[in-house]
Amino acid sequence: MNFLNNFKEKAKKLEKTIGIGLSKEITINNNIIQTAEKIVKLTNNKIVLVGVHDIIETLKNTTQKLDSNLKFIADSDPANYLTCKLFEQQSLDAIIRGGLSSSEFIKEVKNLGKYEKINRLALLETNSGKQFFFAGVGIDEINDFDQKLELMQNSIFFLKKVGITPKIAILSGGRNSDLGRDSWIDENIKNSQQLEKKLKELYPDINVKHYQILIEQAISDDANLILAPEGIAGNLIYRTLIHLGGGRSYGALYLKSYIKNKIIIDCSRVAPKFEIEGAFYFALGV
């Protein structure tokens, strides 16, 4: 199923205002601006482009006249500006990290959202065009059972709210037959088995399966929500697919904020145009 196309169709029917952070690098900003111009031409939404003062002045002097639905905003702390406009002033319907530093952006989200931990759900695509949601893209996001359970419950809430029937694949550090080879692997496998059992108890109407280490089988079986074994493995799976395997990423949704009706999308600071475009539609379509 092409989830991104569903978000695109929803975005065409909306009139939202979303903000995105700009980089200190002109090339990255050009990609963001060009993609933003494309979005406002195809939809009725408005986009606010937020960067530090010197970058905004440079862009104003070098960029052709913007569409009326695009606006530059200069601020000494763009990450703080975006999160404040979303959480406190509520003048933005959604925000996208864009070209901002991940550590600075996450710090602001945690601060204003009052989160000790964040969890994100990425929309990915294989090199053959199969799309799925992937959880555990941050190295510190799913490193114990309780974090995994919370992330999966939030992910299920999200999928159901946007009209997607979850088909869940839980990954672990090996096959069940590998038990006994290593104490850490044993713990990881048993943790995933426990999570499978718990989710089946909580959601008897949802297809949940522990795929062990067989991510390729999960993809073949059309699982649409895949959980990594732990944070480092999840980050490596993401990087391998996107940077080495010819796959694509369309951004990652901050789940805890989504539960509170605050739409935040993460994307790489050096994202290609297709990822920036995907992040815009992800932000608009959910």
Which pLDDT tens digit goes with each residue over 131-164?
A: 999 999 988 889 899 999 999 999 999 999 999 9
CB 212 within 8 A of CB 171: yes
Taking the complete model, does pTM exceed 0.85, yes or no?
Answer: yes
The answer, yes or no, to whether residue 204 has pLDDT greater than 90, is: yes
Within the chain, all domains assigned CATH 3.40.50.10950 are found at 1-119+251-286
Place of tokens 């964040």: 118
What pLDDT is recorded for position 177?
85
The answer, yes or no, to whether residue 240 has pLDDT greater than 90, is: yes
Integer Cα distance of 107 and 99 in angstroms: 15
Cα-Cα end-to-end distance for the chain: 16
Axis crossing angle, helix 26-42 with helix 273-285, rounded to the nearest 10: 50
CB 1 within 8 A of CB 131: yes
Residue pLDDT, tens place only, 210-228? 999 999 999 999 999 999 9
The answer, yes or no, to whether residue 207 has pLDDT greater than 90, is: yes
The answer, yes or no, to whether residue 64 has pLDDT greater than 90, is: no
What pLDDT is recorded for position 143?
86
The answer, yes or no, to whether residue 275 has pLDDT greater than 90, is: yes
| Cα 282 to Cα 105, 118, 258, distances in angstroms | 18, 18, 12
In words, the CATH class of domain 1-119+251-286 is: alpha beta
In words, the CATH class of domain 130-246 is: alpha beta
Residue pLDDT, tens place only, 67-119? 899 999 999 999 999 999 999 999 999 999 999 999 899 999 999 999 988 99
Within the chain, all domains assigned CATH 3.40.718.10 are found at 130-246
Which of these ranges, 174-178, 203-207, 261-265, has the smallest mean pLDDT? 174-178
What pLDDT is recorded for position 270?
82
